[in-house]
Amino acid sequence: MNAARTAASAEQSGTAGHRLPIIAVTMGDGAGIGPEVIVPALLHPDTLRGCRPVVIGDAHRLRQAADILGISCDIVAVDAPAQAEFTPRRINVVDLGLLPADLPWGTLDAAAGDAAYHYIRVAAQLAVNGEVHAICTAPLNKEALHAAGHLYPGHTELLAHLTGVDEVSMMLSTPKVKVIHVTTHLGLIDAVNRIEPGLVERTVRRGHEAMVRAGVDTPVIGVCGINPHAGENGMFGYGEEESKIVPALEAVRNDGIDARGPIPADTAFFLAGRGDYDLIVAMYHDQGHGPVKVLGIETGVNLTVGLPVIRTSVDHGTAFDIAGTGRAEAGSMVEALRQAAEMSSASAAR
């Protein structure tokens, strides 16, 4: 064991370790790469230095993943996070036992979709009850979720429902750029119709609050337009920037929020990457997701902003094409756990 891991393990077992936030790590779709990124991420020295992770999932599936990866560790079932022990090479699991023992890797299965729903349900309840400080999610498969009868567009909407919140925002975070979305899982025409000043204003405010929570006291926020060149004074589109975005910016600026725009989306991310903006507000899914995945998907993290609990996630899908092969990269999960721990600690300090 290297020196960093030894130090991390000592901290976990000592008084300092007991002050680290407890993070519920949901296993996602068990047929995907979730188990294969969770095992190495939970054993990573950076994770052990920052938090006490407890998986909500299936112990048998995690053991299968460890075998595929050639990792030797103890995967131990516990009834609740309070029963978890944090010792070297140990992974604690609240084992719901919902997956078939012979579930194939890389296939769409309603049983896996149902299990993924219940992992989230249990984690949300633990967070609301104060038994964990944050939730970090491995990817689920929307089609499998729907096949199991849980008709939600994804984690974001599911967590909002489970915690009794009417409206939340998706934020993507990479080392180079952070982006929050006004709309997410909607077709482009529906997204443009959905955008209105109140929704833009609430999204900017949620983004501002999230950045302050993360330790940026006075964030500079760049707000994208809807049309090419942000409409270019009415040359493109039908005045959407003036009618849907400008009133929202005026409202938040009156409260001291530094929100600038509307700015052309094709330059916004370049400007953010060089440091002009701490946060970009994207109007629709691909406007924000495309640049983020080019700039840093390997270490990208998905945050749900506006929940009563902290939630981070990997910024990749279930990757059925490589599930069960041991080829999945755990970097995004390590970063998601780091940010969950960081935000939990920042919240506790405020």
User: CB neighbours (10 Å) of residue 143?
Assistant: 13
**CATH number, position 2:** 3.40.718.10
Shared domain check, 279 and 199? yes
Q: Looking at the structure, do residues 300 and 312 belong to the same domain, yes or no? A: no
Phi, psi of 169 (to 5 degrees): -130, 150
281 and 313 both lie in a single domain: no
Question: Residue 296: what pLDDT?
Answer: 63
pLDDT of residue 7: 37
Residue environment code for 18-43, b if the CB has 16+ CB neighbours within 10 A, otherwise e? eebbbbbbbbbbbbbbbbbbbbbbbb
Residues 20 and 156 in one domain: yes
Does 4 share its domain with 99? yes
Element housing 304 (H / E): strand 301-305
| Sign of the Cα pseudo-torsion (280, 319, 185, 190, in order) | positive
Does residue 24 sit in the same domain as residue 139? Answer: yes
Q: What is the pLDDT of residue 343?
A: 82
The whole-number pLDDT of residue 12 equals: 44
pLDDT of residue 299: 64
What's the confidence (pLDDT) of residue 230? 85
Per-residue pLDDT reduced to its tens digit, 289-314? 888 878 765 567 888 888 999 999 98
Closest CA to 96 of 75, 73, 74, 78: 78
Same domain, 8 and 104: yes
Q: Which residues of the chain have pLDDT under 70?
A: 1-18, 296-299, 345-350
Boundary residue ending a domain (288, 304, 320): 304
CA-based radius of gyration for the chain:
20
127 CB-near residues (< 8 Å, 6+ apart): 24, 133, 134, 135, 163, 309, 310
Q: Which domain holds residue 201?
A: 167-304
Are residues 147 and 184 located together in one domain of the fold?
no
C-alpha closest to that of 315 among 329, 283, 182, 326: 329
- Quick one: pLDDT at residue 254? 97
Q: Do residues 260 and 320 share a domain?
A: no
* Peptide bond connecting 88 to the previous residue in cis, omega within 30 degrees of 0: no
**What pLDDT was estimated at residue 146?**
97
Count up the domains in the chain and report the number. 2
Helices (H), the chain: 3-13, 15-18, 34-43, 45-50, 59-69, 110-128, 142-147, 155-162, 188-194, 197-213, 240, 246-254, 265-273, 285-296, 331-349
Same domain, 14 and 121: yes
Tokens of 63: 């053991």
